[in-house]
Chains A and B, each alone.
Chain A
Amino acid sequence: MEGISILNGKYAVSMDMYPLQDKNYNMVYKFYDNLKEGRFTTTKCTDCGARSFPPRIICPECLSENMEWVDLPSEGTVLVVAEQEAGVPLGFQAPLIHAHVDLGGELTYLGRVQNCKAGELKEGDKVKLVVIPIEPVPADGKKGAVIQHERVFFAFEKVK
Chain B
Amino acid sequence: MDRNVCIIGGGMSHWGIRQASARDMFQEAGKACFNDIPGLSNKDVDGLIVASAFTERSCFQTHLAPLVAEYLGIKPKNICARVELLCASGSSGIILAYGLIKSGIADVVMITGGEKLFTPQKWEVFYSELGTGDHDWDGSQGLGLPPPFFSMVAQRHMKLYGTTEEQLAMVSVKNRRNGLNNPKGQYQKAITLEEALNARHVVAPLKLFDCCPVTDGAAAVILACEEKAKEYTDKPLVYIKGVGQATVNNMSANMPSMTTWEALKIAGNQAYSKAGVKPSDIDVAQTHDCFTISEIIESEDLGFCEKGEGGLFVQEGRSDYGGDVAINTDGGLLSCGHPFGGTGIRQGIEIMKQLRGDAARQVEGARTGLTHNLSGLSAAHTVLVYGRDI
Contact = CB atoms under 8 A, between A and B. Distances in A.
A11 interface: no
Nearest to A95: B203
A83 B203 contact: yes
A90 B152 contact: no
Contact of A98 (B129, B135, B141): B141
Central interface residue in B139, B148, B152, by most chain A CB within 10 Å:
B148
B19 interface: no
A89 B130 CA distance: 8
A90 B126 contact: yes
11 contacts: A19-B135, A54-B134, A81-B152, A84-B142, A85-B203, A89-B127, A89-B130, A98-B149, A110-B253, A112-B141, A112-B143
B147 interface: yes
Nearest to B377: A110
Contacts of A109: 252-253
A81 B140 CA distance: 18
| Interface bin, chain A | 20 to 34
Contact of B202 (A15, A17, A86, A108): A86
A153 B135 CA distance: 13
A85 B206 CA distance: 12
Interface string A35-67: 000000000000000000110000000000000
Interface string A101-112: 000000111111
A112 B144 CA distance: 12
A27 to B, nearest CB: 13
Interface string A1-35: 00000000000001101110000000000000000
Interface in A76-133: 80-92, 96, 98, 100, 107-112
A87 B139 contact: no
A98 B253 contact: no
A110 B252 contact: yes
A159 interface: no
Contacts of B148: 82, 84, 96, 98
B214 to A, nearest CB: 9
A141 B239 CA distance: 58
Contacts of A88: 126, 142
Contacts of A83: 203-204
B309 interface: no
B319 interface: no
A146 interface: no
A153 B140 contact: yes
B253 A87 contact: no
Nearest to B137: A54
